[in-house]
Chains A and B, each alone.
Chain A
Amino acid sequence: MIIININYYSLLKARRAKARLRAMGTDLESLVLRTAKNLIAAAVTRIPDDVVDALRKAMKRETNPLAKKQLEAILRNIDLAASTRGPVCQDTGMMIFFLEVGEDFPLKARLSDILVRAVREATQEVPLRPNAIDPVRNKNSGDNTGRYMPWIGWEIVPGDKLKIAFMAKGGGSEYPSTLVMIPPAEGLRGVKRVVLETIFKAGPKPCPPVVVGVGFAGASDAALKLAKKALLRPIGERHPEPEIAALEEELLERINKLGIGPHGFGGFTTALDVKVDYGYRHPASFAVGVTVACWAMRRSTAVVSADGSVEYLTHKYLNEEV
């Protein structure tokens, strides 16, 4: 017996969405492209409000004059970049996308091509520094794209929406990234050790105050992936599980006790926040991944619905401009 299951409701919805987009003089592909380009431009020119607030608070708290001088320059630079729409840092980073694709969102197999095109066009228009280099032939592609660049993370979720989170990750802060397979018996104590040693070794190099992403799991790649994705969470937001929330707070306090301070001049603010996530481990395997974002935390997020509506979550002013 053959069962044919046609979901008439979603077919009807898709047809209506298409008609609506046609009336707007566009199609979903152009809309995703435009949204991705807006996300790139917004991320590299406007530091999100939660990060700016954290930097302002740090400025109030610091008493060390050299640390204050650094924060002052950072805050002035952020304002200037926003008002001139120029990139906050000359290292406009590596292009990283995290996608949550609704199972009923069209274009699923087209998304990768659309994002590559968005990166290429944004490199010209913002402009961005060409940062994608073929490691085998040591050649810069000139447009920030290439094999596995942009780097795209995929998740399939229910619904008909596409959530695009973008991160422009600086090279200097990617350098101290660490993966350590700790003896499982060391447990959370080992996680704390690895984080503190990583931040110490990095010293002033990743442009502190930094945001620290920590992931632990059984598989090595899972640990680093969770660490990187955790950086998307807003500053000050705690993990929903109380034990992990407490671990985030303890790590933040311990890191700041190291006293590296803004750009390594000492002071209370080495990290603005610590974000932790975890996955189950194997009896014999405990991977700890640490990743660091510089103070110029360039991230942006938007949701595109199949019906053609777009909502920017981090750079809300874009909702009015569209």
Chain B
Amino acid sequence: MAEYRLKLPVTEEEIRRLRVGDVIYLTGKLMTARDQAHRRALELLRKGEKLPVDFKGGAVYHCGPVVRKLPDGTWQVIAAGPTTSTRMEALEADFIAGTGVRIIIGKGGMGRKTAEAAKKYGAVYAVFTGGAAILAARAIKRVAEVHWLDLGIPEAIWVFEVEDFGPLVVTIDTTGRNLYEELMGEVEKRLKEQLAELGYEV
């Protein structure tokens, strides 16, 4: 378990060096996107159109923040923890391929399709502590841009300027490893042991 402080955007080399269990902290521009933003982005890319923000070498954060609009028109981020990433599983591989994003941040882990894309294109999936929304908001220094507000506040693309955003634990790296899948394999063995103890055939 190594710790890295990375500046966004990152290079492929920096990302390929990371291994599952490593802890990273990010500084630079971070973009949020949930289900609907992923869907719209993929549609635009299919049509060959440009996205309002450049994800190349960047980080996408599965997050629907609580924000407040201040009288001067700027946005204040009140709380911004991660949302469950499995909802984006069907879309993330294409999103990585289409945008060149290198860090995917969320909670709860992602599946095989994302892990394969991460290996192929040089990306990692990292977990921010679920529910630690104020901790996340503290690392967000400014809202630089917001796009697609018509999708609603949680589903819009928010561009946050962040400083030492973390701790983020890498659970999918570029070697094909998926830490959650490995751990849940162990957990399944223990579940079977316990069910056997209770007299069930497993």
Contact = CB atoms under 8 A, between A and B. Distances in A.
B133 A257 contact: no
Contacts of B70: none
Contact of A91 (B83, B127, B134, B183): B83
Interface string A187-204: 001001100110010011
Interface in B170-201: 179-180, 183-184, 186-188, 190-191, 194-195, 198-200
Interface string A126-138: 0111100000000
B63 to A, nearest CB: 7
B107 A90 contact: no
A265 B183 contact: yes
Interface stretch (A11-19, A26-34, A78-86, A146-154): A78-86
A200 B21 CA distance: 21
Contacts of A65: 1
Contacts of A257: 190, 194
Interface stretch (B10-18, B45-53, B74-82, B93-101): B74-82
A245 interface: no
Contacts of B79: 86-90, 92, 129
Interface string B151-181: 0111000000000000101000000000110
Q: Is the interface of B mostly helix, strand, loop or mixed?
A: mixed
A7 to B, nearest CB: 49
A87 B129 contact: no
Nearest to A208: B130
Nearest to A172: B84
Interface stretch (A69-77, A103-111, A284-292): A69-77
Given A129-B154, A196-B191, A259-B190, A66 B134 contact: no
Contact of A80 (B23, B130, B138): B138
Interface in B47-77: 63-66, 68
Given A77-B134, A89-B133, A258 B167 contact: no
Nearest to B169: A66
A162 B179 CA distance: 49
A67 to B, nearest CB: 11
Contact of B66 (A127, A140, A200, A265): A127
Interface string A243-262: 00000000000100111100
A282 to B, nearest CB: 24
B21 to A, nearest CB: 7
Contacts of B129: 70, 73-74, 77, 263
A264 B109 contact: yes
B134 A80 contact: yes
Contacts of B109: 203-205, 264
Nearest to A76: B135
Nearest to A133: B152
Interface of A: 65-66, 69-70, 73-74, 76-77, 80-81, 84, 86-92, 127-130, 140, 170, 172, 175, 189, 192-193, 196-197, 200, 203-205, 207, 254, 257-260, 263-266, 294-296
Interface of B: 1, 21, 23, 63-66, 68, 78-81, 83-84, 86, 107-109, 127, 129-138, 152-154, 167, 169, 179-180, 183-184, 186-188, 190-191, 194-195, 198-200
19 contacts: A66-B1, A69-B23, A86-B133, A88-B134, A90-B64, A90-B133, A127-B78, A189-B199, A193-B195, A196-B191, A196-B195, A200-B188, A203-B109, A204-B109, A259-B183, A259-B190, A265-B169, A266-B183, A266-B186
